[in-house]
Chain A
Amino acid sequence: MTASATLALGNPSLDLAKPLPSSFLGVWIHPQSGLLRRVGFASPSSGLAVSCTMTKEVTAVEASKYENPGFGLRPDSFGRFGRFGGKYVPETLMYALTELEEAFWALSKDEEFQRELEGILRDYVGRESPLYFAERLTEHYRRSDGQGPHIYLKREDLNHTGAHKINNAVAQALLAKRLGKKRIIAETGAGQHGVATATVCARFGLECIIYMGAQDMERQALNVFRMKLLGAEVRAVHSGTATLKDATSEAIRDWVTNVETTHYILGSVAGPHPYPMMVREFHAVIGKETRKQALEKWGGKPDVLVACVGGGSNAMGLFHEFVDDRDVRLVGVEAAGFGLDSGKHAATLTKGEVGVLHGAMSYLLQDDDGQIIEPHSISAGLDYPGVGPEHSYLKDIGRAEYFSVTDKQALEAFKQLSRLEGIIPALETSHALAYLEDLCPTLPDGSKVVVNCSGRGDKDVQTAIKHLHL
Chain B
Amino acid sequence: MAGVVPKISFPSSPARISGFTSPRWPTCKFTSLSRSTLSRASLSVRRASSASTISDTFSRLKEQGKVALIPFITAGDPDLSTTSEALKILDSSGSDLIELGVPYSDPLADGPVIQAAATRALENGTNFDGVISMLREVIPQLSCPISLFTYYNPILKRGVEKFMSTIEEVGVRGLVVPDVPLEENESLRKEAIKHNIELVLLSTPTTPPERMKEIAQASEGFIYLVATVGVTGARASVNLQLQSLLQEIKEATPKPVAVGFGISKPEHVKQVAGWGADGVIVGSAFVKLLGEAKSSDEGLKQLETFTRSLKAALP
Contacts and interface: CB of A to CB of B under 8 A. Distances in A.
A330 to B, nearest CB: 27
Interface in B117-142: 119, 122, 127-129
A256 interface: yes
Nearest to B104: A371
Nearest to B103: A371
Interface in B228-266: 229-231
Contacts of B151: 356
Contact of B179 (A96, A246, A356): A356
Contacts of A65: none
A257 B108 CA distance: 11
B28 interface: no
Interface residues of A, number: 43
Contacts of A358: 106, 108
A40 to B, nearest CB: 31
A241 to B, nearest CB: 8
Contacts of B152: 88, 356
Contacts of A372: 105-106, 153
Contacts of A53: 1, 208, 210-211, 214
Interface in A82-96: 86-96
Nearest to B155: A370
Interface stretch (B52-60, B180-188, B275-283, B301-309): B180-188
Given A358-B106, A372-B153, A52 B209 contact: yes
Contacts of A366: 153, 157
A52 B210 contact: yes
A94 B108 contact: no
A96 B268 CA distance: 29
Nearest to A260: B229
A238 to B, nearest CB: 10
Most chain B CB within 10 A, of A78, A92, A371, is at: A92
B29 interface: no
B8 interface: no
Contact of B178 (A90, A245, A357): A90
Contacts, number: 138
Contacts of B295: none
Given A90-B108, A90-B109, A240-B119, A95 B206 contact: yes
Nearest to A369: B127
Contacts of B226: 91-92
Interface string A342-386: 000000000001111111000010101111110000000000000
Contacts of A56: 2
Interface string B147-161: 000011111111000
B203 interface: yes
Contacts of A42: none
Contact of A92 (B122, B158, B180, B230): B230
B111 interface: yes
A91 B224 CA distance: 11
B179 A78 contact: no
- B interface, size bucket: 35 or more
B181 A91 contact: yes
Nearest to B151: A356
A259 interface: yes
Contact of B156 (A90, A252, A355): A355
Contacts of B109: 90, 253, 256
B229 A91 contact: no
Interface string B186-219: 0000000000000001111111111100110000
A90 B230 CA distance: 10
A48 interface: no
A397 interface: no
B128 A54 contact: no
A364 B154 CA distance: 12
A93 B154 CA distance: 21
B83 interface: no
Contacts of A64: none
A189 B157 CA distance: 26
A357 B229 contact: no
Contacts of B19: none
A91 B204 contact: yes
Contacts of B157: 353, 355, 366, 368-370
B3 interface: yes
B314 to A, nearest CB: 26
A88 B186 CA distance: 13
B2 A252 contact: no
Among all A-B residue pairs, the 7 with the closest Cβ atoms? A370-B157, A370-B154, A52-B208, A257-B230, A52-B210, A371-B105, A369-B127
Interface of A: 52-54, 56, 78, 86-96, 239-240, 245-246, 249, 252-253, 256-260, 353-359, 364, 366, 368-373
Given A239-B115, A373-B105, 14 more contacts: A52-B208, A54-B1, A78-B2, A90-B204, A91-B206, A92-B205, A95-B208, A257-B230, A355-B153, A356-B151, A356-B153, A356-B156, A369-B127, A371-B104
